[in-house]
């Protein structure tokens, strides 16, 4: 079995990019969402992206982006993947994918079985799915809230494309998350922070070690 792959999302500092790379992250994420404490400007994202060693995928996270913003990012930031974390329709996912010429990961917020009905439609247009906890009603942020959903909802499920588990993951629960859901990819943001937008190198290391260890654990 391949090793579990981890995405460290919401990086804002060069030292955090280095910590993620040294710890063995497979993906790093940059958030373009002004209301987020993890928001980075296009210029800052470019600087951070240039620090990422080859072999680690650089993901740009956007929420219902305009074409103008996509074009600005495309011109300046060397990304490998786009993550769409808003209310993008399957048609818009396909448009963004074509416009950027990059693979797209579509985030789906989950709180009940009904939310998983969208998997088939998005699986036809997205390259990957990010299965995250649904943001609470009225929340400022559509993701990065440190909330988990009931992992039993994804146990034993077959997926049309590769997927990542997200939402409320921490160094303490990452091993169990892998063992329980069979996820081969985990995405984390607030669970490896010392404060919003500021990552903790020790937590990043502990998270990635726990995620990889989960693979060897008996399935729960």
Ligand X SMILES: O=C(O)c1ccccc1NCC(=O)[C@H](O)[C@H](O)COP(=O)(O)O
Residue 31 touches ligand X, criterion: CB under 6 A? yes
Q: Closest separation between CB of residue 190 and ligand X, Å?
A: 3
Pick from 25, 45, 52, 141: which binds ligand X (CB under 6 A)? 141
CA-based radius of gyration for the chain: 16
Residue 143 touches ligand X, criterion: CB under 6 A? yes
45-64 residues near ligand X, rule: CB under 6 A: 61, 63
Packing angle, helices 42-50 and 14-23, rounded to 10? 40
In the chain, DSSP assigns E strands to 5-8, 27-32, 57-62, 81-84, 104-110, 128-133, 163-166, 185-188, 193-195, 198-199
Pick from 128, 145, 181, 184: which binds ligand X (CB under 6 A)? 145
Q: Which of 109, 144, 127 is nearest to 35 (CA)?
A: 144
Q: Could you give the string, one character per residue 70-109, with x where binding to ligand X holds by CB under 6 A and - elsewhere?
A: ---------------x------------------------
Residue 132 touches ligand X, criterion: CB under 6 A? yes
Secondary-structure percent of the chain, ordered helix, strand, coil, rounded to 5 = 35, 20, 40
Contact 122, 108 (CB under 8 A): yes
Residue 60 vs 167, nearer CB to ligand X: 167
Give residues in contact with ligand X (CB under 6 A): 9-10, 29, 31, 33, 36, 38, 61, 63, 85, 132, 141-147, 166-169, 187-191
């Amino acid at each position: 079995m391949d090793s579990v792959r981890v995405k460290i999302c919401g990086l804002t500092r060069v030292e955090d990019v280095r910590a993620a790379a040294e710890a063995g992250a497979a993906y790093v994420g940059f958030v373009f969402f002004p209301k987020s404490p993890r928001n980075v400007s296009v210029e800052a994202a470019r600087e951070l992206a240039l620090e990422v060693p080859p072999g680690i995928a650089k993901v740009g996270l956007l929420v219902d982006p305009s074409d103008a913003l996509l074009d600005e990012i495309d011109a300046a930031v060397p990304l490998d993947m786009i993550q769409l974390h808003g209310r993008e329709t399957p048609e818009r996912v396909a448009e963004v994918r074509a416009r950027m010429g990059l693979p797209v990961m579509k985030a789906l917020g989950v709180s009940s079985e009904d939310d998983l009905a969208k998997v088939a439609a998005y699986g036809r247009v997205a390259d990957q799915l990010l299965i995250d906890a649904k943001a609470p009603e009225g929340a400022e942020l559509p993701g990065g809230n440190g909330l988990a959903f009931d992992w039993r909802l994804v146990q034993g499920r077959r997926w049309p494309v590769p997927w990542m588990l997200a939402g409320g993951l921490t160094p303490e629960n990452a091993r169990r998350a892998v063992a329980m859901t069979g996820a081969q990819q985990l995405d984390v943001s607030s669970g490896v922070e010392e404060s919003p937008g500021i990552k903790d190198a020790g937590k990043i290391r502990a998270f990635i070690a726990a995620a990889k260890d989960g693979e060897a654990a008996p399935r729960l």
